[in-house]
Structure 1
């Protein structure tokens, strides 16, 4: 017995020495959970996603140390939280062995395991040219890390070129506050930023940045790979992406409160029977942001509350079937979980303040206000920053029926857009200087916006209703589109005053009406 104890003591000492050399530190917090907040979207379904909650917490500074932490567990399902600091690259990512892991060189391999959290702490964690591969695994959280420049060709290569890839029966993954980026498309050696294949389900991507890639990500590797689904995308920023934002083959996706900027070829590509609920997103300076593309196998969508700002649409023909220029629903999607829905007009500012790694893990409260959530527990994670409050909302304002305010109408010569327009009307009619023309939304509520190429100071707007529709406008709010701040609220048309504000775009949002609104002129004044 004494000899066995001595052998175990020597083995433990050797393991401790090895851990020190590969950058693995055990922390005395057996019940800690470093991840902040709780899983949202579909990752909260199917029993929920808790990652390594309730298990040991360790800190790793190399990819090899991450593998060693997985391999050191008592079983493949023993909960563990791995706090990652510094840069993970090919030089420090090697295979580790053990009965509770199956790892490989040059990739972070989460294969055949469950109940794991990987979270960036300290000054942040970057996976440089090293991808994260999740295969045949369950209950995984990845939070507050950057994964960049993962290649499938050239040198070095990792993970088939995917920043984060999932396949083979994966269930319940929450990827939150991460930055995924490439430096080009397939010809430069890169593939997808966020891919799901072969029966991957109950996944949420939230508060993340995906940028500078030919391919944003996909659900399903081919038209026959339709066993994936139940995926939520919310409060993410897609920027400078050619296509696949995402590509959906079969299954169900919920896509809300995302900001899309510079989708160069196509955006949300629903095909092969996929169904997507697409609501309150902001699409900007992009092309063909929704539809079925590059296939004759149609997909479907339910749309509501989205804003299309300088979006162009190609003509429909053959295997190119964009949903625009006036997207309408062709299916319905029932969402089984509760969620807070920000207004689309404030999405750019909310996402700017919350999305990506090293942004303080800030989230939206569902009312367009970023905030820092309390951690599940308080381990050694880096402190989060205090949120910056939005400007105080102005009190409800009663518009006056005074004549035109003095000064220059800044709307003349400006640009405009909105949420929708009724047949025979246009956004431009609301600032052409003529009360004989007008804009109407396609329903009884909607948004009309005036925008300028540079910051412009505005302190008054004058809403003039067209003849025959006076009194139709009910409740409304005036919103600074740049920040999402509400400048004034009230009822009825007329002159509306508020604190002078410098902005590039101002919204007049009609939230109720007694009849179809007809805005003849949306005047703005300094």
Structure 2
């Protein structure tokens, strides 16, 4: 990191005055009140961010820059609590002792000891990226960053939601949601890109979705100087490739849920070494290997689950790890950690990952918990019960409305009998009405499944726009094949409370091709 020129520090009164003029509210001046929750695991362990410094609140990008610039130096610790929508219209360049900023991007350049934390009703960086360069000891927690473009209008941060480059050390990115609305042709680049000497980074409890590119470590086959990166308890959903792409260095990738990877997943290239443990790969293609190059990388694998994963044939520029997923190297990491079982990962990640999810974490025994400083009772695991031997008469016709309670399908797995081109089983459990599953004809089956038994008494079949009319259907206990309900049409279907690991909705007749957007499941 470049040395900062010595300047006369601002007096406390001057600091607060500048804060007031830029829309900041000083919340604490002693530093014991740092807003960051929990501590980093993995390679970023020991990262403290702004702990020990002042805490201020910002509702604009300009205010974030002003808070950085108001510091006595570029190393003075600060925690910036962010609330509201940060965009190009409210993000200007600010000058000062403690910063080097630019308009149209949140710029953390040549600085250290900073935390940026979403609070209140949430913080959203809309079409505006966060750029970290020549900096160290940074924490980003509980924020959403969406639709950052490198082409079109407006542009920011080279199209990366979060980008790090040029001698960056000790960064913890936690409980964030990073998303785009398309791939490179639509103007987007990576969601989480690291290049040119970036080390000791952890990405944890994050959602990365709806993008052509998840992220990379190293910008080219010769940029192999970055590494020591940990990825754990993240959701990668509806992404073409790079989850991540690795060039050189070591990456530890454990307890992540990969859903709907269309082209490739973890791409280890140019001598990279990936330790890939207890992940859940679902409805995806080529989830691990070396792709699009003859410069090979390596991997060590253990405990992963492959659920409806397909593999390409090997070629001169493609070396998929599957179907065996056998290790090609051994990788050691210099820290201790606890692994959740892979079968638990979809449910745990669903409950914990992303911004505004309560900053819940896993305790490493398949039970999510709320982190200190306020210990709480772990989230209970549903109690397994034995179904009645003679189920009551099912409701023959669905009802309208949405059941109360938790939709157990979020974070579950899905499979089926067939799927039309361009559709996926996973689309019925992604919480979106804009994606859907269709059978290859007018009839077929789609199922929701879990690693451990769930008690289910209602399902809600929600169709997408343009769906054909569902005629007759059956709801089946996927474990035993028993019929739980029969009827016609879509909507809420009730049946006797049943403990099962898999529930199936079978369409036995339809007019046109059905489009099932969501297959929701409820305990009661």
| Contact 2:382 2:455 survives alignment (8 Å) | no
Q: Do structure 1's residue 39 and structure 2's residue 40 form an aligned pair?
A: yes
| Contact 1:345 1:481 survives alignment (8 Å) | no
Q: Structure 2 CA distance, aligned partners of 1:58 and 1:100?
A: 15
Q: Structure 2 CA distance, aligned partners of 1:347 and 1:192?
A: 24
Give the secondary structure class of the aligned counterpart of 2:97.
coil
What's the CA shift for 1:14? 7.6
Deviations 1:440-473 (A, max 9, x none): xxxxxxxxxxxx83469x9xxxxxxxxxxxxxxx
Give the secondary structure class of the aligned counterpart of 2:68.
helix
Deviations 1:85-139 (A, max 9, x none): 1000001000110122100000000000111000000011000011000000000
- Which residue of the partner structure matches residue 294 of structure 2? 296
- Which residue of the partner structure matches residue 440 of structure 2? none
Give the secondary structure class of the aligned counterpart of 1:20.
helix
Give the secondary structure class of the aligned counterpart of 2:300.
strand
Q: Structure 1 CA distance, aligned partners of 2:208 and 2:116?
A: 19
- Which residue of the partner structure matches residue 382 of structure 2? 391
Give the secondary structure class of the aligned counterpart of 2:327.
coil
What's the CA shift for 1:27? 1.3
What's the CA shift for 1:325? 1.1
Deviations 1:305-339 (A, max 9, x none): 00000000010011011111111000000111111
Q: Structure 2 CA distance, aligned partners of 1:124 and 1:385?
A: 22
- Which residue of the partner structure matches residue 357 of structure 1? 355
| Contact 2:383 2:455 survives alignment (8 Å) | no
Q: Structure 2 CA distance, aligned partners of 1:12 and 1:134?
A: 27
Find 1:480's aligned residue among 435, 453, 458: 453
Correspondence 1:145-156 to 2 at 5 A: 145-156=143-154
| Contact 1:482 1:504 survives alignment (8 Å) | no
Deviations 1:336-362 (A, max 9, x none): 111110000010000000000000000
What's the CA shift for 1:22? 2.8
- Which residue of the partner structure matches residue 27 of structure 2? 27
- Which residue of the partner structure matches residue 117 of structure 2? 119
Q: Do structure 1's residue 325 and structure 2's residue 323 form an aligned pair?
A: yes
| Contact 2:167 2:196 survives alignment (8 Å) | yes
Unaligned runs of 5+ in 1: 1-7, 379-383, 395-404, 408-413, 417-451, 459-477, 484-494, 507-526
Change (3 A) 1:505 1:327: farther
| Contact 1:148 1:180 survives alignment (8 Å) | yes
Find 1:282's aligned residue among 280, 283, 291: 280
What's the CA shift for 1:503? 3.6
Q: How well do the aligned residues superpose, as a CA RMSD in angstroms?
A: 2.9
Q: Structure 2 CA distance, aligned partners of 1:359 and 1:221?
A: 32
Q: Structure 1 CA distance, aligned partners of 2:221 and 2:452?
A: 43
Q: Do structure 1's residue 96 and structure 2's residue 87 form an aligned pair?
A: no
Q: Structure 2 CA distance, aligned partners of 1:63 and 1:171?
A: 24
What's the CA shift for 1:387? 5.6
| Contact 1:303 1:327 survives alignment (8 Å) | yes
Give the secondary structure class of the aligned counterpart of 1:346.
helix
Q: Structure 1 CA distance, aligned partners of 2:89 and 2:332?
A: 47
Q: Structure 2 CA distance, aligned partners of 1:69 and 1:387?
A: 37
Q: Structure 1 CA distance, aligned partners of 2:48 and 2:337?
A: 18
Number of paired residues? 405
Q: Structure 1 CA distance, aligned partners of 2:97 and 2:116?
A: 20
Find 1:170's aligned residue among 168, 171, 189: 168
Give the secondary structure class of the aligned counterpart of 1:352.
helix
Q: Give the TM-score normalised by structure 2.
A: 0.73
Find 1:193's aligned residue among 191, 194, 200: 191
| Contact 2:308 2:415 survives alignment (8 Å) | no
| Contact 1:482 1:505 survives alignment (8 Å) | no
Q: Do structure 1's residue 61 and structure 2's residue 23 form an aligned pair?
A: no
Change (3 A) 1:293 1:91: same
Q: Structure 2 CA distance, aligned partners of 1:40 and 1:150?
A: 28
What's the CA shift for 1:273? 0.2
Q: Structure 2 CA distance, aligned partners of 1:346 and 1:505?
A: 18
What's the CA shift for 1:17? 5.6
What's the CA shift for 1:388? 3.2
- Which residue of the partner structure matches residue 436 of structure 1? none
Change (3 A) 1:13 1:205: closer
- Which residue of the partner structure matches residue 241 of structure 1? 239
Higher Cα Rg, which structure: 1
Please, which moves more after superposition, 50-59 or 21-30? 21-30
Q: Give the TM-score normalised by structure 1.
A: 0.72
Unaligned runs of 5+ in 2: 1-7, 392-413, 417-444, 457-479, 481-496, 505-524
